[in-house]
C-alpha cells in the first residue's frame, strides 16, 4: 500500500506492506532511528511519537492507521540549527538519562504531557511516565527533567 503522512513537518510517501508498523516505517523507510524498538508489545514506551497531537506507541500503530496523520519524532523536536527543544535541554541539564535508549520515548511522552497540561504536578509526571520503562536511572532525574522542561516550555 502507499501511505502519505506528514513527519516532522515534511510530507512523505512510502510504499509498504499492509502489516507495516509505524515504527518500522519511521526507522526503515525514513531512517529516523531515534524512535527505538524496545519490547514489541507497546509496554516499554521507547517507540513513543506524537501523532495528531497525542503520544502513541508507534510499535502498536499500523502505517494504514497513520494515513494522512501528522507525526512528530524525537528528530523533529530540535530547531534546524541544532538548538534543543526545552524538554531535551532539561533532560541534558538534569542528567535525566544514562544509556539513553528510553530517552526519546520519555521526552516525547513528556512533551505531550506538558502540551496538554502546562501546570502538571510531580505526581502527574510520575503517573505519565508509568508507560515508559527505564532500566538505568531510577527515574528521579527524569522527573526533575520533566519538571524543568515544563517550566521552560511554559516560560
Q: Does the structure show a pLDDT above 80 at 155?
A: no
Please give the pLDDT value at position 39: 86
Element (H, E) at 123: helix 122-128
Q: Does the structure show a pLDDT above 90 at 140?
A: yes
Q: Does the structure show a pLDDT above 80 at 93?
A: yes
For residue 70, what is its C-alpha cell?
Answer: 501528522
For residue 67, what is its C-alpha cell?
Answer: 494515513
For residue 28, what is its C-alpha cell?
Answer: 526503515
Sheet holding 2-7, edge to edge: 10-15, 2-7, 70-72, 48-51, 54-57
**Number of compact structural domains in the chain:** 2
Residues across the chain: 155
Q: Does the structure show a pLDDT above 80 at 124?
A: yes
When pLDDT is averaged across residues 86-113 and rounded to a whole number, the result is 95
Extended strands (E) in 1-155: 2-7, 10-15, 48-51, 54-57, 70-72
Neighbours of 144 (CB within 10 A): 18
When pLDDT is averaged across residues 135-153 and rounded to a whole number, the result is 93
**Chain-centre distance of CA 27, in angstroms?**
13
Residue 81 lies in a domain: no
* Structure confidence by residue, pLDDT tens digits, 108-123: 999 999 999 999 999 9
Domain carrying residue 124: 86-154
Determine contact, residues 77/100, Cβ cutoff 8 Å.
Answer: no
Please give the pLDDT value at position 48: 97
φ, ψ at 48 (rounded to 5°): -65, 130
Residue 115 lies in a domain: yes
Domain shared by 47 and 98, yes or no: no
Of 35, 57, 76, which marks where a domain is finished?
76
Of 108, 114, 116, 126, the closest CA to residue 154 belongs to 114
* Structure confidence by residue, pLDDT tens digits, 5-27: 999 999 999 999 999 999 999 99
Of 134, 138, 137, 113, the closest CA to residue 45 belongs to 134
**Chain-centre distance of CA 77, in angstroms?**
9
Residue 65's CATH number: 3.10.20.30
* Structure confidence by residue, pLDDT tens digits, 38-90: 887 888 999 999 999 999 999 999 999 999 999 999 999 999 999 999 999 99
Please give the pLDDT value at position 137: 80
Residue 18 lies in a domain: yes
Amino acid at each position: 500500500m502507499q501511505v502519505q503522512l506528514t513527519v516532522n513537518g515534511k510530507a512523505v510517501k512510502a510504499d509498504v506492506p499492509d502489516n507495516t508498523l509505524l515504527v518500522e516505517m519511521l526507522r526503515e523507510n525514513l531512517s529516523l532511528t531515534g524512535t527505538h524498538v524496545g519490547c514489541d508489545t507497546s509496554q516499554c514506551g521507547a517507540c513513543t511519537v506524537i501523532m495528531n497531537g497525542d503520544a502513541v506507541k508507534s510499535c502498536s500503530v499500523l502505517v494504514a492507521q497513520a494515513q494522512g496523520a501528522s507525526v512528530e519524532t524525537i528528530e523533529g523536536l530540535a530547531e534546524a540549527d541544532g538548538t534543543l527543544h526545552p524538554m531535551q535541554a532539561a533532560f541534558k541539564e538534569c542528567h535525566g538519562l544514562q544509556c539513553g535508549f528510553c530517552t526519546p520515548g520519555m521526552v516525547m511522552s513528556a512533551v505531550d504531557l506538558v502540551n496538554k497540561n502546562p501546570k502538571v504536578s510531580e505526581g502527574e509526571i510520575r503517573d505519565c511516565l508509568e508507560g515508559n520503562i527505564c532500566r538505568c536511572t531510577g527515574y528521579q532525574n527524569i522527573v526533575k527533567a520533566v519538571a524543568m522542561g515544563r517550566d521552560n516550555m511554559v516560560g
